[in-house]
């Protein structure tokens, strides 16, 4: 027994304590509880991993039964294998840094205790998600992190845009969860268990499905769930709006951890996908298309957080691409490096926003000298995501692109093009914010050490995080694909990244007016991309409006009130009418009674006579 349950328990206790007592407590006490609980869970995770080292097999702990009915038996089962170990380090490690950063970022905000309580609750559910040893406990974490995402996106609940974004995130995720839950039902019906071990063993016994079969269906349904949580086409629309939340939330939940849960789930289910090549193909296509599509939108956005949000969607697409082409380990490796550089990008953006109180890149400029630490750390993240050689992002992205080439060359080329665009839009943001002259009056200042220290730590990880050979280490859990190391392909993708940086330099530093002229030349195409292809409007028009209007106009007003209730009231009125007629019989007039009696007697006699006489 390693007492794995303690890892999620610490943040849960932190949540409860801060929720119940935080309102009256001092900020220092709230900090101590919130950060202390995450620190404890980080340390306990380290201790557990050390004790289980080298974690060659999954270590599963079963506590007590949760639901037991008929053949179903689901317990609170937690487990650790190498995949979980990677996730544990990302969640508790990056989570800890972001908690510390938040002390500075949220210092002047109302609802301080509430923020940290929600953040702790998120840690609890996220750790439950990655530690789960069966699909239902995983689903608990899955829905729980969605709840925390909702609560934190709408943290500033006085703003309608924030609460709208929270609702959208929750509801879009519910659409994904619909798919996920159907996959669970199918698994249980066919495999008689939701336990990872049992399900994967049963899946492994089945033949590889050349044509769509059970595993293909399960794989596709899981993909629907993953697409919701990890913001892939067609369910990505909630993530850009989720930037309404405080920036540390964007870093922790909407960049480093929660949104990668879909990738984790797909990788975790690799035993199912490996026997369902069609489902894997779908994963690869969805991932690649999302990566490309989101990157094009990222090229045009002016809100610094929106740029990074589309970047997150795009990078998650890479991870799906990796899983889809069979390089599950590379996908998780990219998840690992992405957690560092993307968390850093968001925290850096937060530091910039903290300095100038604005998110619009057009209102920034020249911040390099005023916020030097933020600048240099953000630069580390930018080179890493751009795949500049020997940074963390270089290693993981290369593995993915090589595996993609091995699967289908066109996937490599589109992925490389996307890499170039990625480098362009990230450096575009850097150049617009930190170079040139300040475009508006602002009294920018560097953030306090409590914010810059986590930035520095993440900067180091963004540079060296690639030297952890995550995908090789994961091979016992996640079989990879053997790919010949082709130096030319590496060189091409690196060149694409450098070209993107160079182009950004040209557009935004060397010849500042050029970007606007190109945009003007592109005309409607530019405006379409700037408007995010108007996908939100499209969904509103084909889904939301018909459902709401149909429910109000047809189901409620027409069916419920007019038809169903109308029929009832009609029967009621008819009954009253009949009663009214019958009432006239009771007139109190003796002679009319006598007449009725006589008529009745006659009718009775007739009836008896016709029926053949009384017996």
Partner 1 sequence: MNLLNIVLALPLAGFLVLLALPKDRHELIRRVALAVSLLTFVLSLGLAAGFQDDAPGFQFATDAPWISSPAIRYHVGLDGVSLWLVILTTLLTPIGILVSWRSITRSVKEFFVLFLLLEFGLAGVFVALDLFLFYVFWEVSLVPMYFLIGIWGHERRIYAAVKFFLFTMAGSVLMLAAIIWLYNTTGTFDFEVLLKLAARGNLAFSKLEELLLFLAFFVAFAIKVPLFPLHTWLPDAHVEAPTAGSVMLASVMLKMGCYGLVRFCLPLFPRASHQCAPWIVALAIVGIIYGALVAMVQPNMKKLVAYTSVSHLGFVVLGVFSFTQMGLDGAVYQMINHGISTGALFILVGYLYERQHSLEIVDYGGVATPAPCLAGVFMVTALASAGLPVLNNFVGEFLVLQGTAQVSLKWTALAATGVILAACYMLWLYQRVFFGETPEHVRAHVYDLKAREWAAMLPLIVLMVWLGTATRTFLPPISAANARILEQSQANVEVQVRLVPPGEARYAR
Chain residues that interact with partner 1, rule: CB under 8 A: 64-72, 136, 139-140, 143-144, 147, 150, 154, 157-158, 160, 163-164, 166-167, 170-171, 174-175, 177-178, 181-182, 184-186, 188-192, 212, 214, 217, 547-548, 550-552, 555-556, 559-560, 564-565, 568, 572
22 vs 93, beta carbon nearer partner 1: 22
Where helices occur in 372-486 by DSSP H, the ranges are 372-385, 392-407, 409-434, 449-464, 470-473
Residue-wise over 326-360: b if at least 16 C-beta within 10 A, else e? bbbbbbbbbbbbbbbbbbbbbbbbbbbbbbbebbe
62 vs 511, beta carbon nearer partner 1: 62
123 vs 343, beta carbon nearer partner 1: 123
Shortest spacing between CB 68 and partner 1, in angstroms:
6
3 vs 160, beta carbon nearer partner 1: 160
Shortest spacing between CB 216 and partner 1, in angstroms:
10
CA dihedral 21, 24, 26, 31 (to 10 degrees): 30
Shortest spacing between CB 164 and partner 1, in angstroms:
8
Shortest spacing between CB 443 and partner 1, in angstroms:
29
Task: Identify the bridge partners of residue 61 per DSSP, sorted by sequence position.
Answer: 78
215 vs 411, beta carbon nearer partner 1: 215
What does the block give as tokens for 214?
């059970």
53 vs 64, beta carbon nearer partner 1: 64
Shortest spacing between CB 250 and partner 1, in angstroms:
20
Alpha-carbon distance of 113 to 612, in angstroms, equals: 90
Shortest spacing between CB 357 and partner 1, in angstroms:
21
Shortest spacing between CB 22 and partner 1, in angstroms:
12
Cα 329 to the center of its chain, rounded Å: 20
Shortest spacing between CB 72 and partner 1, in angstroms:
6
Specify the DSSP class assigned to residue 303.
B
214 vs 432, beta carbon nearer partner 1: 214
Shortest spacing between CB 155 and partner 1, in angstroms:
11
Shortest spacing between CB 154 and partner 1, in angstroms:
7
Shortest spacing between CB 582 and partner 1, in angstroms:
17
Task: Identify the bridge partners of residue 72 per DSSP, sorted by sequence position.
Answer: 69
246 vs 420, beta carbon nearer partner 1: 246
**Residue 489 three-state SS:** helix
Query: 60 and 77 in contact (C-beta within 8 Å)?
Result: yes
Residue-wise over 55-92: b if at least 16 C-beta within 10 A, else e? beebbbbeeeeeeeeeeeebbbbbbbbbbbbbbbbbbb
Please name the residues in contact with 228: beta carbons below 8 A apart, sequence gap of 6 or more: 172, 173, 174, 175, 176, 177, 179, 180, 235, 262
CA dihedral 366, 370, 373, 377 (to 10 degrees): -10
141 vs 420, beta carbon nearer partner 1: 141
118 vs 346, beta carbon nearer partner 1: 118
**Residue 336 three-state SS:** helix
Residue-wise over 190-211: b if at least 16 C-beta within 10 A, else e? ebebbbbeebbebbeeeeebee
Specify the DSSP class assigned to residue 62.
E
136 vs 367, beta carbon nearer partner 1: 136
Closest residue by Cα to residue 269 from 226, 234, 207: 226
Shortest spacing between CB 94 and partner 1, in angstroms:
25
Query: 259 and 173 in contact (C-beta within 8 Å)?
Result: no
- Find the length of the chain: 615
Task: Identify the bridge partners of residue 59 per DSSP, sorted by sequence position.
Answer: 80
114 vs 407, beta carbon nearer partner 1: 114
- Pairing label, strands 72-80, 59-69: antiparallel
Shortest spacing between CB 13 and partner 1, in angstroms:
15
**Residue 417 three-state SS:** helix
36 vs 192, beta carbon nearer partner 1: 192
What does the block give as tokens for 592?
């009319």
Shortest spacing between CB 300 and partner 1, in angstroms:
30
28 vs 158, beta carbon nearer partner 1: 158
Shortest spacing between CB 579 and partner 1, in angstroms:
13
Alpha-carbon distance of 561 to 557, in angstroms, equals: 5
Angle at alpha carbon of residue 94, lines to 180 and 85, rounded to 5°: 60
3-state helix, strand, coil in the chain (%, to 5): 75, 5, 20
Question: Half-sphere exposure of 191 toward its Cβ, with a 13 Å CA cutoff?
Answer: 26
218 vs 367, beta carbon nearer partner 1: 218
Alpha-carbon distance of 611 to 613, in angstroms, equals: 6
C-alpha pair distances (Å), 550 with each of 105, 546, 553:
44, 5, 5
Closest residue by Cα to residue 103 from 377, 408, 369, 347: 347
């Amino acid at each position: 027994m390693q007492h794995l349950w303690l890892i999620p328990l610490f943040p849960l206790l932190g949540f409860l304590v801060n929720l119940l007592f935080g309102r009256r407590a001092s900020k220092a006490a709230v900090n101590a509880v919130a950060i202390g609980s995450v620190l404890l869970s980080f340390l306990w995770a380290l201790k557990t991993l050390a004790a289980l080292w080298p974690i060659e097999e999954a270590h599963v702990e079963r506590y007590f039964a949760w639901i037991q009915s008929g053949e179903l038996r689901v317990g609170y089962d937690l487990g650790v294998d190498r995949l979980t170990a990677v996730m544990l380090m990302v969640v508790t490690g990056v989570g800890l840094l972001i908690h510390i950063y938040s002390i500075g970022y949220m210092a002047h905000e109302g609802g301080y205790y509430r923020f940290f309580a929600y953040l702790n609750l998120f840690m609890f559910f996220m750790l439950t998600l990655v530690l789960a040893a069966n699909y239902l406990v995983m689903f608990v974490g899955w829905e729980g992190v969605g709840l925390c995402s909702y609560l934190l996106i709408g943290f500033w609940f006085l703003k309608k845009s924030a609460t709208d974004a929270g609702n959208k995130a929750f509801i879009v995720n519910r659409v994904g969860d619909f798919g996920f839950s159907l996959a669970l039902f199918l698994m249980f019906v066919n495999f008689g268990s939701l336990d990872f071990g049992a399900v994967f063993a049963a899946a492994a016994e089945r033949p590889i499905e050349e044509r769509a079969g059970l595993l293909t269906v399960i794989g596709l349904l899981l993909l629907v769930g993953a697409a919701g949580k990890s913001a892939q086409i067609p369910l990505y629309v909630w993530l850009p709006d989720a930037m309404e939340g405080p920036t540390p939330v964007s870093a922790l939940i909407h960049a480093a951890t929660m949104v990668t849960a879909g990738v984790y789930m797909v990788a975790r289910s690799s035993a199912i996908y490996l026997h369902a090549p069609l489902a894997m193909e779908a994963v690869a296509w969805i991932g690649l298309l999302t990566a490309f599509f989101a990157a094009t939108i990222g090229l045009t956005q002016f809100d610094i957080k929106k740029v990074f949000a589309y970047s997150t969607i795009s990078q998650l697409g890479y991870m799906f691409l990796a899983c889809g082409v069979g390089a599950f380990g590379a996908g998780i490796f990219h998840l690992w490096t992405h957690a560092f550089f993307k968390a850093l990008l968001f925290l850096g953006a937060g530091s910039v926003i903290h300095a100038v109180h604005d998110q619009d890149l057009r209102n920034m400029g020249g911040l390099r000298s005023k916020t030097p630490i933020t600048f240099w750390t953000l630069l580390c993240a930018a080179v890493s995501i751009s795949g500049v050689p020997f940074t963390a992002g270089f290693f993981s992205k290369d593995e993915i692109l090589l595996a993609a080439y091995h699967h289908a060359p066109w996937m490599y080329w589109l992925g490389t093009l996307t890499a170039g665009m990625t480098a362009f839009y990230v450096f575009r943001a850097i150049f617009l914010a930190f170079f040139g002259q300040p475009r508006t009056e602002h009294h920018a200042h560097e953030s306090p050490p409590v914010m810059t220290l986590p930035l520095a730590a993440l900067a180091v990880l963004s540079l060296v995080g690639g030297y952890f050979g995550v995908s090789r280490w994961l091979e016992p859990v996640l079989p990879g694909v053997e790919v010949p190391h082709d130096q030319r392909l590496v060189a091409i993708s690196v060149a694409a990244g450098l070209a993107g940086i160079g182009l950004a330099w040209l557009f935004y530093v060397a010849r500042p007016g050029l970007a606007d002229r190109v945009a003007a030349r592109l005309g409607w195409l530019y405006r379409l991309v700037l408007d995010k292809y108007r996908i939100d409007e499209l969904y509103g028009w084909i889904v939301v409006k018909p459902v709401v209007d149909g429910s109000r106009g047809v189901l409620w007003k027409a069916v419920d009130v007019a038809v169903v209730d109308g029929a009832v009231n009609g029967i009621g009125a008819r009954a009253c009418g009949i009663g009214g007629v019958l009432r006239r019989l009771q007139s109190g007039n003796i002679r009319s009674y006598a007449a009725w009696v006589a008529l009745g007697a006659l009718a009775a006699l007739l009836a008896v006579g016709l029926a053949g006489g009384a017996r």
